[in-house]
Structure 1
Amino acid sequence: MRDSGAVEALLLEAVRVYDDEPAVRAELETYAQRLREPLRVAVAGMVKAGKSTLLNAIIGEEIAPTDTGECTRIITWYRHAATPRITLYPVDGEPRLLPLTRVQGRLVFDLGGQQAEDVARLVVEWPAENLRSMTLIDTPGIASLSADVSARSTRFLTPEDAPSEADAVIYLMRHLHASDIKFLEAFRDTSAAHAGTVNALAVLSRADEVGAGRIDSLISASRIADRYRADASLRSLVLDVLPMAGLLAQSSRTLRQAEYEAFVALAALGNAERERMLISADRFVAGGPAIGISAEDAGRILDRFGMFGLRLGAALVRGGTTDATALARELARRSGLDHLMTLVLRQFSARAATLRVRTALAGLEALLRSNPREDGAQLLAGIERIRANAHEISELRLLSALRSGLVPLPARAAGEAERLVGGSGTGAAERLALAPGADAEEIRSTSFGTLRRWRVMAENPLTDRGALEACQVVLRSCEELVVRTGAAEQGRELARG
């Protein structure tokens, strides 16, 4: 985002103004640091929604604890680093390193007898590729039976007098509850300093359980996701809703050769025998010897893949998947993980700079208003000046208003406006509803046609006054598409010359 430098300069000026208040200065320096950090994406949801499982799937290794132990009650940050390291930050006292211990391939956190309520956070540094572009934050369950555990997540993600610690959120749910709506409303308001921008994705994280583990479970879950996606109360709070088999996503990313061979043996059974084995978990475990593994090993495979994963894996092998790598890739795709990562790339990563700038401006404004100074008015004016010129932030605000039904545009125009300001992704083809491989000429001609159409609407005296501001934002988005396409074409001409 072009305004990052101006925001950082404004923060440095604020540091000078509050040089005599160490606590305020430290907070301002934190916002300046956030401008330079990867995007912070929190994984949130109710207890046992599958947050840690999903996090493991995204990272590609089983490093987030998925049991119900002490560590699942602690806010845990996962950052990229060349060397693995776990640091415990206590509520009181100095941080200390924890031992790196793995049991059956899973990372185990040893708190050394420390209680979860005495730990402010854990920071796991890990050489995972997906952590290069974003820091993932695993949070305790919302609406937990333990009020303290639930409050910890709420204070962290939706503080009352400051921006959220997270720039965006992946929110997991099994069914839509009032507590889900309540949290997402609070996150939308807090994260944008009550400007109401949408920067959350909703995931039906245990979608394979919708159909009791049947091979068509995700089809049933997709219908539920479609219904939620059209729900007016949820649509205004999230950018999309998608079904996902979280357990399968995690296990597909860590598929072992011995597990692949078990799938091959399962696929090789006769149809009747295989169906009998897959009637229930107990029958599969007891039938382990039929596919050359012990009942204990069968239980481990069942725990890792679930009945849905077992049925799907065997079907894929029967359909011609011939090696472990290909099976892992296809299981990940069928689990919904690939779709989620595409959405994270389109909706979060592509807007990373904008989201960081918005957070920094919100934090600075909150500090200026809670700690007034004589020079504060000048700093507030600087904030408003940056916001007025930051088109990307205007797009986020309009997107939220459109999804909330607050813009008096006809339904068709509102749908197009939502897409043009990046509701389906920030790329030119996504904004213009073109095929991913659309060439520059098609993008340019479509951009010009769209620009002319929205200019006519903006200049029409019959256009509702409340819609004019939205039209101006959409016009600016169209103009930038035209400019971007022209610049790309000019670059290609220079390269050819």
Structure 2
Amino acid sequence: MTAPAPHLGSVVRVLLRRTIDAYHDSPQAVGWLQYNLNRFDEPLRVAIAGKVKAGKSTLLNALVGEEIAPTDAGECTRIVTWYLDAQIPKVTMFPRNTSPRQLTISRASGALKFDLQGTRVEDVDKLEVQWPSQSLRTHTLIDTPGIASLSSDTSSRAGAFLTPDDSPSQADAVIYLMRHLHATDVRFLESFFDQGVAKATPINTIGVLSRADEIGVGRLDALSSARRIARRYRADEKIRGLCQTVVAVAGLLAQTGRTMRQDEFAALTALAELPRSDLDGMLLSVDRFSRTDLPDGTAGPDADARARLMERFGLFGVRLSTTLIRQGVTDPNAIASELVKRSGLDELRSVLTTQFSERRDLLKARSALLAVDLVLTREPRPAAAPLVAEVERILAGAHEFAELRLLSTLRSGAIKMPTEALQEAERLLGGDGGSAAARLGLEPDAGPDELWSAALDAAARWQRRAESPMSGRAVSDMARLVVRSCEGILAGLRR
């Protein structure tokens, strides 16, 4: 069995330091390289992208568990905004041509509001929101302007951040939101999917079928329909080649479930006490719910209160909440938990853990290699020739990158094998997550003996496929790489 290779993150850190030494006389190169070296010690940077009104800010609030991202169509939604964990809340504006300035924070109806102090949106490079949050300790979230916006400036801001022409993206990974799969979505994913060696993988992109509750026009089975569509997208070869997976999430339901207020629960309880036929009639549309006059002598929220409920819960959320109350759920915390559970947020968070958090070092190393490559390309010098060779050696020899390239090849349909074998190969290569249990298709709490036995069996099975005279060259090469992944699992278990 082969000896375990040095940790990829450690190898890339050493490369960064060597490159800094080689370019010590170039302040710009050293600053850029040191910035990327420091990124290794930061939380993973995850950008949230999508078309206008896809629900990006709403999903961000749901992930954080607080309404810290403005969700209206105001000027701040047109600016790239970073959300970072900090001990004290603070919002900083970074104008393009002047020094950063701290902004005043205010709240309106529970949500944060930022005052740009008269600065034009076009003159702001980014906003940075520092906020105490457990969720932000592992992921720095970056809210981006809408792609395909009617405003060319807004749309170009998103593109310039996510797919810059002259440098790697500042994000390590991307959550891409789509209400339905349109040609615009595919074009964006294709642009983000660079064909360079270090980028040739959909591993850093997750697709989210957002506003999933609207697919079924607010029916109680709306999310089931959305999940079926997400499964269909996941099975599509084109989509599989552009993003890691697709999950359905009702972002508004998730945000409201995590931030529900007592007065809202009281209003929902009053609605649940109305005659069923009256409430069902009101819930035929957003307009009818907000404008219908309640019968004389009936207690219930007025038109303004109902409009606020609709804004916070949507048709699906109001219908689900009142149904649960009628069924005897009288604890507001239980209602909130059920909204989050049904929203699909837990599935998305699980995917973030398996696809991003477990690959943190790999994604960081990928970003760092792209940064080094940029310096070597822009400022070529004879003394840097060994560094160029080292970048090429890491990209070609690091098993982690070989896995990503093979995953991309398998998902493109280029290698023909039985479906069951292809699925196992993808899983062993880390397609369902980087942990030993995920690769072996076992439960997360599987014990060391069970993991060891499963890894040995998988290694033997794929070794036989690699050596079989019935396997063609492509299949044999693929099988040998899968065997190496199995050996990596065993090496990790031994350590």
1:432 has 2:437 as partner? no
The residue number in structure 2 matching 1:338 is: 346
2:255 aligned residue: 250
What is the number of residues matched between the two proteins?
A: 487
Mapping for residues 269-280 of structure 1, pairs under 5 Å: 269-280=274-285
Q: 1 CA distance for matches of 2:480 and 2:165?
A: 32
Contact preservation (8 Å) 2:270, 2:301: no
Matches within 5 A, 1:412-431: 412-431=420-439
Structure 2 residue aligned with 1:8: 13
1:162 positional shift: 2.4
- Seen in structure 2, the aligned counterparts of structure 1 residues 181 and 387 have a Cα distance that, compared at 3 Å, is same
C-alpha distance in structure 1 between counterparts of 2:319 and 2:82, whole Å: 34
What CA deviation, in whole Å up to 9, does each residue of 1:400-452 have, x standing for no partner? 22112233444332211111111112222222222344333332222211111
Candidates 436, 457, 462, aligned match of 2:465: 457
Q: Which moved more, 1:85-94 or 1:361-370?
A: 361-370
Question: Any unmatched runs of 5+ in structure 2?
Answer: 1-5
1:102 counterpart SS class: strand
Looking at structure 2, the residues matched to 348 and 194 of structure 1 have their Cα atoms a distance apart, in angstroms, of 15
| Aligned-residue offset at 1:348 | 0.5
- Percent identity between the two aligned chains: 50
1:475 aligns to 2:483 (yes or no): yes
Of 340, 354, 357, the residue aligned with 2:362 is 354
User: SS at 1:97's partner residue?
Assistant: strand
Alpha carbons of structure 1 residues 460 and 190: separation in structure 2 relative to 1, 3 Å: closer
Residue by residue over 1:85-141, the C-alpha shift from the partner in whole angstroms, topping out at 9 and shown as x without a partner, is: 111111111101001111121100100111111000001011111100011111111
Q: Does 1:200 align with 2:205?
A: yes
Q: Which residue of 2 aligns with 1:323?
A: 331
- Counterpart in the other structure of 2:271: 266
Does the CA-based 8 Å contact 1:45-1:141 persist in structure 2? Answer: yes
Once the two structures are TM-superposed, the CA of residue 262 in structure 1 deviates from its matched residue by: 2.2
**TM-score normalized by the length of structure 2:** 0.93
SS in structure 1 at match of 2:40: helix
Q: Aligned ranges for residues 337-416 of structure 1 at < 5 Å?
A: 337-416=345-424
In 1, distance between residues paired with 2:171 and 2:243? Answer: 15
Tell me, yes or no, if structure 1 residue 124 matches structure 2 residue 129. yes
Deviation, 1:239, is 1.3
Alignment of 1:91-130 (within 5 A): 91-130=96-135
Which amino acid in 2 is paired with 1:472? R
**Structure 1 counterpart of 2:466, one-letter code:** A
Contact 1:162 1:190 in 2 (8 A): no
1:81 to 73, 77, 86: 86
Counterpart Cα distance in 2 of 1:13 and 1:378? 10
Structure 2 residue identity aligned to 1:298: R
- Report how far residue 295 of structure 1 moved: 2.1
- In 2, the alpha carbon distance for the partners of 1:64 and 1:192 equals 35
Report what 2:474 is aligned to: 466
Structure 1, residues 338-371: CA drift from partner, whole Å, max 9, x if none? Answer: 1111101110111011100011012211220221
Greater alpha carbon shift after TM alignment, 51-60 vs 408-417: 408-417
Task: Identify the residue that residue 18 of structure 1 maps to in structure 2.
Answer: 23
The residue type equivalent to 1:152 in the other structure is: R
Query: Please, which of 127, 133, 146 is the counterpart of residue 141 of structure 1?
Result: 146
Structure 1: runs of 5+ lacking an equivalent: 488-497
Q: For residue 189 of structure 1, give the secondary structure of its aligned residue in structure 2.
A: coil
The corresponding residue for 2:3 is none
Q: For the residues of structure 1 that align with 2:422 and 2:303, how far apart are their CA atoms? A: 57
2:219 paired with 1:211: no
SS of 2:157's partner is helix
- Kindly indicate whether the alpha-carbon contact (under 8 Å) linking 1:207 and 1:218 is maintained by their aligned counterparts in 2: yes
Structure 2 contact 197–395 (Cα < 8 Å) conserved: no
Cα deviations by residue, 1:258-300 (Å, 9 ceiling, x for unpaired): 1122222333333223323322334433457845323211211
Residue type of the alignment partner of 1:419: R
Note the alpha carbon deviations across 1:287-336, whole angstroms, 9 max, x for none: 57845323211211111001100011112223343312121111011011
CA distance 1:32–1:290, shift in 2 (3 Å): farther
More displaced stretch, 42-51 vs 285-294? 285-294
The aligned residue for residue 491 of structure 1 is none
Distance 1:16 1:442, change over 3 A: closer
Task: Work out whether residues 203 and 355 of structure 2, in 8 Å CA contact, stay in contact via their aligned partners in 1.
Answer: no
Instruction: State the match for 1:43 in structure 2.
Output: 48
Q: Structure 1 runs of 4+ off > 6 angstroms?
A: none
How has the CA–CA distance of structure 1 residues 287 and 475 changed in structure 2, closer, same or farther, with 3 Å as cutoff? farther
